[in-house]
Amino acid sequence: MLKRFLLLALASLLVCSSIEAQTPWRKGEMQVLVPIGQPAINAFAYLVPGLGINTEPAGDFIRCYLTRDEAKLFSDAGIDFHTEIDDLNAWSASFGGRGVPSGYYTVEQLNGIADSLAFNFPDICTLHSLGTATGFYQLKAIKISDNSAIDENEAEVLFDGGIHGDEVGGPENMIRLARDLCLQYGSDPEITDLVDTREIWIYYCVNPYGRSNMTRYNGNGVDVNRDCGYMWNNEGNSPSAFSQSETKAYRKLLTENQFAIHCSYHSGTEYISYPWSYRADNSPDHAIHNYLASVYAVNSGYSGIPYGQGYTGMYAINGSTKDFGYGALGSISWSVEISADKQPPASQIGAYYLKNRPSMLKMVEYSGYGINGTITDSITGLPLPANIIIDDLFPLANDPVNGDYHKFLLPGNYTVKVISNGYETRTITGISITAMSSTEVNIALQPIENNRFARRIISCQIPNNNFNDEGNTPAAIGPPDDIRYSLGRNGYAIIDLGDTLTDGTGPEVIVYENDVTPEGYQLFAGQTMDGPWVMMGTGTGNAEFDLSAASLPSARYLKIKDDGDGQSQVADAGFDLDAIEGIIYLPPVDSTGFIAGTVYSAEFQTPVAGAAITCGTRFTVSDENGYFIIEADTGNVEICGEFPQMFMYDCDPVVVAPGDTLLHDLYLPVQEGISETTSDFGNLVVSPNPANDFASITANGLTGILDCEVYTLGGQIQQCHVSYHGSSILTINTSELTPGIYFIRILTNREASTLKLLIQR
Ligand SMILES: [Zn+2]
């Protein structure tokens, strides 16, 4: 029996561990095997998953990662375990500069192969940057398809590996699949057909820090496969949902495409594990997951690799990639555990790949079976963002670029309902699906003047889960329909409206509960999926909210949080969200819009706080996360960012639509030659540069200075006192200028020149 003090002691240990100096593994962490079936380990691993014991399945065992203090708690609780690796930090260090055991590819070698494939097969292979991971590693995904640079109306399938860096087989499988697809395109008929008719994404190393340091964690000591936002629950050292750069990159890849099938590769046992991982109930797509897992198993080289639901087949986790891919986005999403050993001898790498290769190709093939089509505007014919709801299966959002959708379905007759903000909902019945083919159902929607409703729940938490409620997140999507998602006691949901709301003359948001027992909640608005969240107010039952209460000019994302009243482990716990409506106020013609984004260093890809942003005559400063929003005139405008302390600046031309918030990130390169002091023809010299209160311009003897003006990078003229000393020297009083980079435009009788001047104090 597990004693209460034990849990409290363990919880306080986990809090303390986060402030220690960062090592690849936690200080003193060891890898142990615990036989399944001990009541105490069940209490740790199943009953209290929120406590964050890090576990990985291992056949008849559970592989656990324990600090010395946690191991003592296990011993004290009578849990029997066998130590596999006594000191994981010493073990990782033993691989030296390579990071991985000999015979396995390093991150640099994986990147080198990916680069060479994109270079040598440019028509069918492109590389896509997903940002920077902890440890400053670049995150890159490979896309392989005919016309690879274009998003075509083809089924998309995703394979990823290496989210746990010490599970070395995933990235090895990924890079070999990419290489085979490129090398055998045009000669192998099966591969040629699949590359021509599908879009195959291979995200070959999700956690490069982990691989380079032989740890399951990222550079912040977080288990990335517990940091995803759907039914997130504070496991694996994750401080908040989507808190890590690796998880944000993952979310970017999954939300910017529509993956019919998504396979994520792990090792430590042999198992195909599909949703749910956070709860024991079957998902609405259980039959589809189970059927496709059987296709994977039968076609593989394993003799009877088992498959099943993650929660019941392996163990309970929250915040996994598979629950996010399926729960938030409607992909058929699972993990494949490819080998009992996390680091099998390098001689077996090829064999494990060959066991999986036929099944991977089958998944590429099956991603294109079932139903497919495009959702368009019936008048313009242009693609629309929509939700496709097929019978009682989880909804999927179509591709945001092309409007196409693809979903695997078992043979039968189906009803398809399509909802899209600003359009009439359409329902089509009697759609017949046959095996090994795809039924094309293109749907054109009639525009109507309605408001905006939730497009998807991107993130949610029911603290410590509530298995007495069905967790029906899709109920909050679309207009009110008397079907509700219960937030759970103290739970929250982050909702993407799909469109940006702007502050108008009345309320901008209406929350609908529509039942007889109104409950309390707080509503927050944000301009990105990660906030910052600004409170719009509190409500009980149905209520209206105004953006101006949050002092926000616009918002696309809403966060609704239960007020914490009532019971947590009952049906319908917490606020019951039927729908959330955003009211669109048509902006007056010739109004302004907004530009929002993040300022990054072009060199390091890291956010820049305190950068000055100018657009026309308007000015703002990026916040501590590098985020900014600035009002802008509509039409063609130029937005500029500068960070003079690092000699960084850049300007981009953008087009701003009335009332819209254009998302545009700025990447500031370090400007070479900012301290140059002479003009193009060598006739003018500025000094000192950098300057403080005064700068002088000197012309050579033949040149007469006629005029001098000082501009900001954004083109705003600055009022400065200029004193002329004869015709060839002048002094600018710069004491009123804020530190930064300026342009000095000088007109002489021989040239018009622009010099850069840095003001530094
Ligand atoms: Zn794993």
User: In this structure, are strands 307-309 and 269-274 parallel, antiparallel, or unpaired?
Assistant: parallel
Element at 430 (helix H, strand E): strand 426-433
Distance 336 CA to ligand 1 centre (A): 9
Distance 271 CA to ligand 1 centre (A): 11
Q: How far is CA 447 from CA 423, 590, 650, in A?
A: 4, 24, 40
**Mean pLDDT calculated for residue range 517-531:** 94
Q: How confident is the model at residue 4 (pLDDT cuts 50, 70, 90)?
A: very low
**Mean pLDDT calculated for residue range 586-601:** 82
Q: What tens digit of pLDDT does each residue of 225-242 get?
A: 999 999 999 988 999 999
Distance 43 CA to ligand 1 centre (A): 21
**Mean pLDDT calculated for residue range 692-701:** 84
Distance 65 CA to ligand 1 centre (A): 12
Distance 214 CA to ligand 1 centre (A): 13
Q: How far is CA 546 from CA 456, 491, 500, in A?
A: 21, 23, 14
pTM of the model: 0.75
Distance 450 CA to ligand 1 centre (A): 45
Question: What is the three-class DSSP state of 559?
Answer: strand
Least confident of 238-247, 416-425, 566-575, 728-737: 728-737
Q: What is the chain's length?
A: 761
Q: Are 425 and 398 in contact (CB under 8 A)?
A: no
Distance 276 CA to ligand 1 centre (A): 16
Q: What tokens does 755 get?
A: 């010099």
Distance 691 CA to ligand 1 centre (A): 56
Distance 117 CA to ligand 1 centre (A): 27
Q: What are the φ and ψ backbone dihedral angles of 204, each rounded to 5 degrees?
A: -80, -15
Question: What is the three-class DSSP state of 548?
Answer: helix
**pLDDT computed for residue 649 by the predictor:** 82
pLDDT at 262 over 50: yes
**pLDDT computed for residue 416 by the predictor:** 98
Q: How confident is the model at residue 156 (pLDDT cuts 50, 70, 90)?
A: very high
Q: What angle do CA 703, 708, 714 make, to 5 degrees?
A: 135
Distance 163 CA to ligand 1 centre (A): 7
Q: How confident is the model at residue 14 (pLDDT cuts 50, 70, 90)?
A: very low
Distance 307 CA to ligand 1 centre (A): 16
Distance 57 CA to ligand 1 centre (A): 8
**Mean pLDDT calculated for residue range 564-589:** 89
Residue 265 bridge partners (DSSP): 161, 336
**Mean pLDDT calculated for residue range 705-732:** 78
User: In this structure, are strands 534-540 and 694-699 parallel, antiparallel, or unpaired?
Assistant: unpaired
Ion ligand 1 — residues with CB under 5 Å? 164, 167, 266
The Cα 240–Cα 222 span in angstroms is: 11
Q: What tokens does 562 get?
A: 């239960």
Distance 747 CA to ligand 1 centre (A): 66
Element at 55 (helix H, strand E): strand 54-58
Q: How confident is the model at residue 21 (pLDDT cuts 50, 70, 90)?
A: low
Distance 145 CA to ligand 1 centre (A): 28
What share of the chain in percent tops pLDDT 90? Answer: 65
Distance 728 CA to ligand 1 centre (A): 71
Distance 83 CA to ligand 1 centre (A): 19
For domain 457-582, the question of CATH label 2.40.50.140 is answered with no
Distance 267 CA to ligand 1 centre (A): 6
Distance 430 CA to ligand 1 centre (A): 41
Distance 90 CA to ligand 1 centre (A): 21
**pLDDT computed for residue 676 by the predictor:** 58
Give the architecture-level CATH label for domain 684-759: Sandwich (2.60)
Q: What angle do CA 646, 693, 642 make, to 5 degrees?
A: 25
Q: What tens digit of pLDDT does each residue of 551-565 get?
A: 888 899 999 999 999
Distance 513 CA to ligand 1 centre (A): 39
Q: How confident is the model at residue 753 (pLDDT cuts 50, 70, 90)?
A: confident
Comparing 392 with 610, the larger pLDDT belongs to: 392
Distance 289 CA to ligand 1 centre (A): 20
Q: How confident is the model at residue 728 (pLDDT cuts 50, 70, 90)?
A: confident
Residue by residue, DSSP assigns 502-517 as E--SS-SEEEE--SSS
Distance 296 CA to ligand 1 centre (A): 19
10 Å CB burial of residue 379 (0-12, 13-18, 19+) is exposed
Do 370-445 and 457-582 come out as alike in CATH topology?
A: no
pLDDT at 41 over 60: no
Distance 312 CA to ligand 1 centre (A): 17
What is the CATH code of the structural domain delimited by 4-94?
Answer: 3.30.70.790
Distance 253 CA to ligand 1 centre (A): 20
Q: What tens digit of pLDDT does each residue of 641-693 get?
A: 988 766 788 889 999 988 889 999 999 987 765 545 677 666 788 888 888 89
Report the CATH superfamily, name and number, of domain 99-120+156-183+198-366.
Zn peptidases (3.40.630.10)
Comparing 163 with 47, the larger pLDDT belongs to: 163
Least confident of 259-273, 469-483, 556-570, 660-674: 660-674
Distance 326 CA to ligand 1 centre (A): 18
Q: How confident is the model at residue 10 (pLDDT cuts 50, 70, 90)?
A: very low
Q: How confident is the model at residue 710 (pLDDT cuts 50, 70, 90)?
A: confident
**pLDDT computed for residue 22 by the predictor:** 80
Report the CATH superfamily, name and number, of domain 370-445.
Carboxypeptidase-like, regulatory domain (2.60.40.1120)
**Mean pLDDT calculated for residue range 9-32:** 66
Q: How confident is the model at residue 550 (pLDDT cuts 50, 70, 90)?
A: confident
Q: Are 246 and 217 in contact (CB under 8 A)?
A: no
Distance 82 CA to ligand 1 centre (A): 20
Closest alpha carbon to 214 in 319, 107, 292, 298: 107
What is the CATH code of the structural domain delimited by 593-668?
Answer: 2.60.40.1120
Distance 584 CA to ligand 1 centre (A): 44
Q: Are 640 and 615 in contact (CB under 8 A)?
A: yes
Comparing 221 with 51, the larger pLDDT belongs to: 221
Distance 199 CA to ligand 1 centre (A): 26
**pLDDT computed for residue 707 by the predictor:** 80
Q: What angle do CA 695, 698, 699 make, to 5 degrees?
A: 150
Q: How many Cβ atoms sit within 10 Å of the Cβ of residue 327?
A: 27
Residue 560 bridge partners (DSSP): 493, 523
Q: What angle do CA 51, 53, 57 make, to 5 degrees?
A: 135
Distance 724 CA to ligand 1 centre (A): 71
Q: How confident is the model at residue 592 (pLDDT cuts 50, 70, 90)?
A: confident
DSSP letter, residue 101: P
Q: What tokens does 292 get?
A: 């496709």
DSSP letter, residue 346: G
Distance 502 CA to ligand 1 centre (A): 43
Distance 166 CA to ligand 1 centre (A): 8
Parse the chain into domains and list their residue ranges.
Answer: 4-94, 99-120+156-183+198-366, 370-445, 457-582, 593-668, 684-759
pLDDT at 465 over 90: yes
**Mean pLDDT calculated for residue range 388-404:** 94
**pLDDT computed for residue 672 by the predictor:** 61
Distance 215 CA to ligand 1 centre (A): 11
**pLDDT computed for residue 590 by the predictor:** 64
**Mean pLDDT calculated for residue range 85-113:** 92
Q: What tokens does 750 get?
A: 């021989």
The Cα 238–Cα 247 span in angstroms is: 11
